[in-house]
Structure 1
Amino acid sequence: MSIDNRIPPGQTLTQGFPVLHYGDVAYYRDMSKWDLRIFGLVEQEVGISYKEFMALPMREYHNDIHCVTTWSKLDNVWEGVPVSTIMQRVKLKPEAKFVMLHAEHGWTTNLPIEDFLRETSLFAIKHNGEILSPEHGYPVRMVVPHLYFWKSAKWLRGIEFMAKNKPGFWEKNGYHMYGDPFKEERYDFD
């Protein structure tokens, strides 16, 4: 596939990795206090400690990412835990159709369950061979590369399974409920 076909309409290629977020950067000094909570429409709530998370099998992923602010970064290499590995610990209720990702400082974003479960979605701990910096989501960042990058929640702390789609933080503030970069689903002010 040519580079032109990999860059969505309205996007500009960047070699850097811009840092954008709302509010404060989350810094962790005691990883024994970090955990990942999986709740909502599950048969039993699941908690995964940082130590347990870091012991899970990791995989390398190669992808392009696209920010709603119009930059695209190609040929990223991530290392992290496949969503399928985490989901081996979870028994979903049949009515679970959507996911709300919960991050530090009350930040959230929504996804249809199919997008969360895609083989390309992951829980990243490294980008291009380096442990994620706090500004980029350390210790764990969700990466959903086929959607605009705000859907790839930094500082991930919880995964909530839901029956109905609800807007997360940016969606409540005018961003599109889905966010396909190739359809330029940036904002939804209706």
Structure 2
Amino acid sequence: MTSIALRGRPGATHVISPVIDFSAGPGNRTGRPGAEVDMPPVTRGFVGRRTRDKRLPPGQYDVGGQWPVLTAERAPHLDTSRWTFTIEGLVERETQWTWDEIRALPDERWDGDIHCVTTWTKFGMRFDGVSVDTLLDSARPRPEATHVVAHSHSGYTTNLPLADVTGGKAWVVWNAEGSPLTREHGGPARLLVPHLYFWKSVKWVAGLRVADHDEPGFWERNGYHDRGDPWSEQRFQGD
């Protein structure tokens, strides 16, 4: 038998049995001349492969109760007394919020699943924050605007079509599972774009720059897909 490593699950293997040629005679059922295979009877307890959870996009696995911490940089220490969030670029009015100002805006709760490009999925997450729609309503993107570049207080960037952060699809969040976001998970506030792979949900978010063209961010310049739709398995350029 042959073992192969399962993608995204260190140490896990899947066992592949030899291919059996059922068109051969009873003395030659492995496709190798002269090989004899005794086939065990199928019992009532045999149920076959377990049904895959329909909430899992292709190539993903359920991480269970864990929430892995993955980042390309060190987690910065941010003081909320100096924290700001800015929308700039192709907008009618560049707008900046302090921590107290953004927390005073109408907040929303989002419940659902998040998907990391490294193949884990976490079911049933809860986040609280403010809709990006509310923030963009204040800044008023110009008619020619098509994309945003989201950037972090650490300098990290990622690109997003404007359509992927409007219409109730994106938030700036500060609570996860009813508690303040930890620094390792992007606190005090991060972007949440849950319908895309989670590298698009910028940790330690500092703002959005509105543009009339697509401008690849950090991971996109290093081979990741420009959009990152988990249901289309858009992990890398060319997917």
Q: Taking structure 1 as the reference length, what is the TM-score of the superposition?
A: 0.94
Gaps of 5+ in 1: none
Task: Give the secondary-structure state (helix, strand or coil) at the position aligned to 2:125.
Answer: strand
The match for 1:23 is 73
Whether contact under 8 Å (1:61, 1:120) holds in the other structure is no
CA distance in 2, matches of 1:177, 1:88: 25
User: 1:42 is aligned with what amino acid?
Assistant: V
Structure 1 segment 33-182 matched on structure 2, within 5 A:
33-182=82-231
Aligned length: 188
Whether contact under 8 Å (2:190, 2:203) holds in the other structure is yes
Report sequence identity in percent. Answer: 43
Whether contact under 8 Å (2:93, 2:138) holds in the other structure is no
User: 2:176 is aligned with what amino acid?
Assistant: H
Whether contact under 8 Å (1:80, 1:124) holds in the other structure is yes
Whether contact under 8 Å (1:174, 1:189) holds in the other structure is no
Task: Give the secondary-structure state (helix, strand or coil) at the position aligned to 2:72.
Answer: coil
In terms of fraction of residues, the more helix-rich structure is: 1
User: 2:67 is aligned with what amino acid?
Assistant: F
1:84 shift after superposition: 2.0
1:135 shift after superposition: 0.4
Looking at CA atoms only, which structure, 1 or 2, has the larger radius of gyration? 2
Gaps of 5+ in 2: 1-50
CA distance in 1, matches of 2:139, 2:233: 33
Structure with higher RCO (Cα < 8 A, 6+ apart): 1
Whether contact under 8 Å (1:63, 1:74) holds in the other structure is yes
Post-superposition, which runs of at least 4 consecutive aligned residues in structure 1 deviate over 3 A?
A: none
CA deviation profile, 1:99-129 (whole Å, cap 9, x unmatched): 1001022100111000011313111111111
1:3 shift after superposition: 7.1
CA deviation profile, 1:32-60 (whole Å, cap 9, x unmatched): 21101110101121111111011111111
User: 1:187 is aligned with what amino acid?
Assistant: F
Task: Give the secondary-structure state (helix, strand or coil) at the position aligned to 2:86.
Answer: strand
Q: Taking structure 2 as the reference length, what is the TM-score of the superposition?
A: 0.76
CA distance in 2, matches of 1:24, 1:9: 30
Whether contact under 8 Å (2:127, 2:176) holds in the other structure is yes
